[in-house]
């Protein structure tokens, strides 16, 4: 007989009690802040057709012929500025969040997987199955849905599920951009930060960008970001002159969502804003894009253009507010599952 295509639990008893599992999924991060470690990470990430919607053969030539020769060294330099003794901030922060959620949800097995790199979605689900997980709730750590982020997690889940001999029951949180508990958690964390550090003249909310073309084709991401910002601004009592939304991290030449964060901070400085606060509500945990791109690069752009201080307000990370709001979100999505009743 040929080896089986499907992964199962051959030889294991199915008598163990069925468990519920919660799988948190974040983007993933390189293994080290070096060009050698960046190359396979970027090849997997930028090779994902959800991330780069381009004719495959043309993109393959550009990616392998140009991008992967230049970008790994440049990105490694940026990662080196935020890497800690414990590793990549995205990995450390995601693991801490998963541990805190596990404490809040003793009735479930909470695990963390990465969309790119390790631990993979597939290996993590296989491990959960070995532990008896028969009902699985997947929470991508992206509050706003985009095909490039959440959609890609769904692709990886679909690929995994088609390999499993006996897949678990599955639920997926598509987004939580307007979840009242999440908005409240964001608002409290900003208020607490202001209480401790004082308040800037304006609050900029910077979201990761995506190509405008994807939104034109139906991706709801821009609308989700605007809704998060509008609800957060209303909860904080800010008027439209005090609250600004922008989009960061553009890659390549085609237009991405606008206004761009780097242009916006320079424009605000040139208009006379001296103290600018920036928060990034699209990132569940701090990472390269917040700690380096906002708190270092954009801070420097702001001061070079005449501003005095740009202060980055940290992501929710493993704060009590985030853990409570995500635990409530998970319980709501798991309604009807006996493990959660």
Ligand X SMILES: C=CC1=C(C)c2cc3[nH]c(cc4nc(cc5[nH]c(cc1n2)c(C)c5CCC(=O)O)C(CCC(=O)O)=C4C)c(C)c3C=C
Residue ranges of the annotated binding site are 208, 289
Interaction of residue 297 with Fe ion, rule CB under 5 A:
no
Shortest Cβ distance from residue 96 to ligand X (Å)?
A: 14
| Residue with Cβ nearer Fe ion (88 or 129) | 88
- Which of 175, 179, 262, 293 lies at the binding interface for Fe ion (CB under 5 A)? 293
SS3 284: coil
CB 265 within 8 A of CB 305: yes
CB 168 within 8 A of CB 53: no
| Residue with Cβ nearer ligand X (276 or 291) | 291
Residue found by looking up tokens 């597939």 in the block:
122
What is the C-alpha to C-alpha distance for residues 112 and 93, in angstroms, rounded to an integer? 11
Shortest Cβ distance from residue 220 to Fe ion (Å)?
A: 17
Q: Which position's Cβ is nearest Fe ion? A: 249
Structure tokens at 239: 């008027």
Interaction of residue 283 with ligand X, rule CB under 6 A:
yes
Interaction of residue 71 with ligand X, rule CB under 6 A:
yes
Which residues pair with residue 295 across a beta bridge? none
Interaction of residue 146 with ligand X, rule CB under 6 A:
yes
Calculate the alpha carbon distances from 327 to 94, 98, 133, 291, 321 in Å.
15, 11, 18, 26, 10
Shortest Cβ distance from residue 258 to ligand X (Å)?
A: 15
| Residue with Cβ nearer Fe ion (203 or 287) | 287
Shortest Cβ distance from residue 269 to Fe ion (Å)?
A: 20
- Which of 39, 135, 177, 208 lies at the binding interface for ligand X (CB under 6 A)? 208
**244 phi/psi in degrees, rounded to 5:** -125, 140
SS3 140: strand
Interaction of residue 249 with Fe ion, rule CB under 5 A:
yes
What is the C-alpha to C-alpha distance for residues 42 and 2, in angstroms, rounded to an integer? 35
Interaction of residue 301 with ligand X, rule CB under 6 A:
no
- Which of 23, 68, 90, 204 lies at the binding interface for ligand X (CB under 6 A)? 90
Shortest Cβ distance from residue 292 to ligand X (Å)?
A: 8
Residue found by looking up tokens 């089986």 in the block:
4
Burial of 271 (0-12, 13-18, 19+ CB in 10 A): exposed
The number of residues that bind ligand X (CB under 6 A) is 22
- Which of 23, 37, 88, 232 lies at the binding interface for ligand X (CB under 6 A)? 88
Interaction of residue 282 with ligand X, rule CB under 6 A:
yes
Interaction of residue 135 with ligand X, rule CB under 6 A:
no
SS3 127: helix
Stretch that binds ligand X, among 57-65, 103-111, 283-291, 295-303 (CB under 6 A): 283-291
Burial of 218 (0-12, 13-18, 19+ CB in 10 A): exposed
Stretch that binds ligand X, among 140-148, 162-170, 189-197, 310-318 (CB under 6 A): 140-148
Cα Rg, the chain, nearest whole Å: 21
237: left (phi over 0), alpha (psi -120 to 50) or beta: left
Which residues of the chain form contacts with Fe ion (CB under 5 A)?
A: 249, 289, 293
Which chain residues interact with ligand X by CB under 6 A?
Answer: 27, 29, 42, 51, 71, 75, 88, 90, 142, 146, 148-149, 208, 210, 221, 249, 251, 282-283, 287-289
């Amino acid at each position: 007989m040929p080896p089986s295509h499907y992964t199962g639990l051959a030889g294991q008893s199915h008598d163990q009690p069925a468990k519920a599992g919660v799988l948190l999924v974040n983007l993933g991060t390189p293994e080290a802040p070096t060009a050698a470690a960046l190359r396979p990470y970027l090849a997997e990430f930028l090779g994902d057709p959800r991330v780069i919607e381009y004719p495959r053969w043309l993109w393959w030539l550009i990616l392998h012929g140009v991008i992967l020769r230049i970008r790994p060294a440049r990105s490694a330099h940026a990662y080196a500025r935020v890497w800690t003794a414990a590793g990549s901030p995205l990995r450390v922060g995601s693991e801490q969040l998963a541990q805190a959620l596990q404490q809040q949800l003793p009735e479930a097995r909470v695990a963390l997987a990465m969309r790119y790199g390790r631990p993979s979605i597939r290996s993590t689900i296989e491990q959960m199955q070995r532990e008896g997980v028969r009902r699985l709730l997947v929470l991508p750590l992206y509050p706003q849905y985009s095909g490039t982020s959440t959609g890609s997690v769904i692709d990886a889940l679909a690929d995994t599920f088609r390999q499993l001999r006996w897949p678990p029951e599955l639920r997926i949180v598509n987004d939580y951009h307007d979840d009242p508990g999440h908005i409240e958690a964001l608002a409290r964390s900003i208020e607490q930060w202001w209480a401790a550090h004082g308040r800037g003249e304006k609050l900029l909310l910077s979201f990761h960008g995506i190509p405008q073309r994807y939104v034109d084709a139906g991706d709801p991401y821009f609308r989700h970001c605007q809704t998060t910002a509008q609800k957060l601004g209303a909860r904080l009592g800010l008027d439209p002159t005090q609250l600004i939304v922008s989009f960061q991290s553009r890659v390549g030449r085609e237009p991405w969502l606008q206004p761009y964060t780097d242009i916006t901070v320079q424009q605000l400085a040139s208009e006379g804003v001296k103290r600018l606060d920036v928060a990034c509500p699209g990132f569940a945990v701090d990472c390269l894009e917040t700690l380096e791109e906002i708190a270092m690069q954009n801070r420097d752009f702001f001061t070079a253009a005449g501003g005095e201080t740009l202060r980055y307000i940290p992501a929710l990370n493993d704060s009590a507010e985030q853990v409570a709001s995500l635990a409530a979100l998970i319980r709501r999505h798991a309604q009807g599952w006996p493990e959660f009743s």
